[in-house]
Amino acid sequence: MTSSVRVVAAGDHFVLPSLIASALSYECPCDVRELTLGWPLEPFGPVAEVSEASDAEDELIGALAGAQVLVTQMGPVTERVLGACPELRLVVVCRGGPVNVNVEAAGRHDVRVCFAPGRNAAATAEFTVGLLLAALRRIPQAHELLARRGSWAGSAYYTYEHSGLELEDLPVGLVGYGAVGSRVARALCAFGARVMVYDPYVRGEVHGLRMSSLDELLSGSRVITLHARLTAETRGLIGARELALLPPGAVVVNAARGPLLDEDALCDALEGGRLAAAALDTYAREPLPPGSRLPGLADRVVLTPHLGGASRAVAEKAARIAAAEVGRWVRGEPLAHCLT
């Protein structure tokens, strides 16, 4: 490669183009053109044949004229974009997977596709623990009563019947033990929780934690948190049968992927009093549709709009991981996180 490699840093209002350009300056000499896409101030969605992208094909095609490299988070790398940009040879996506890229078409156009795994693992793990604590100790409900309504009635949560649970000695089950789940496990162990893990891809005892079957974990956990990837096998992993295995008064936390959990079954269990609470950051449909039952259960649920990965450090890490991949490509070194 030569020093004249041209890169388009198609960032947005989270992974700023300036963050990408700054990270690139430490990796390799290149000519960087910055482009700001609309997310998250503008929603992402399906664009042509790709999912979870900004609707900006024309804008991206214009910026990529003469460029060999694209670094982006939400840029729609469709068949049309690839066909219009014959000099493009490398796409690096600042996300855990290139869902905004037509990977098959990229292969046909001789474009390599890389991504940035692990960029939000720490942030999501911390957020999960925050959701768990909020649900266990009813923090949002008490805040609503005092700060929003000016009522001291939240002291009712000090009664034995309505007081929350503490993590020390609490049986907590983790469904999944990857980059996020393992971090959550370490944090919960520091609180003194009794942590069990279900992960069919992990064998034996790991870091002193007891591995179990899913049914065993559910029947023995006062709290479960979900950390599995969404696949054909894990879609609907926790449904009515699985929720019924939990002890009465259990709590469910999901900051992984919404479709892992059957939301109707969850609402049934909450409305029927089988579950004490749930804390969710991801949903079967996002944004929540108008007919969702979850907001009507505000006294028993903590709901956040998919913010688990929303930290400044995540944006900075994503830019650094992507820039390092560009540097390897420019120097002719093996790529670390490449699909094609």
Tell me the catalytic residues. Answer: 257, 286, 306
| Amino acid in position 312 | R
Pairing of strands 171-175, 112-114: unpaired
Strand order in the sheet with 69-72: 31-36, 6-11, 69-72, 90-93, 112-114
Local structure of residue 154 (DSSP, 8 states): G
Backbone angles phi, psi at 78, to 5 degrees: -95, 175
> CA–CA distance from 230 to each of 35, 127, 201, 286 (Å)?
31, 19, 14, 15
What is the amino acid identity at position 149?
A: R
Half-sphere exposure of 18 (CA within 13 A, CB side): 1
CB 260 within 8 A of CB 226: yes
- Per-residue burial over 67-88, b if 16 or more Cβ lie within 10 Å, else e, is bbbbbbbbbbbbbbbbebbeeb
Beta bridge partners of 278: 252, 301
Query: Which two three-digit tokens encode residue 263?
Result: 């939301």
d(CA 77, CA 198): 36
Helix segments in the chain, DSSP class H = 17-25, 57-63, 79-84, 103-108, 121-137, 139-143, 179-191, 214-220, 240-245, 263-271, 312-331
CA-based torsion, 97, 98, 104, 107: positive or negative = negative
Is residue 50 within 8 Å of 101, Cβ to Cβ? yes
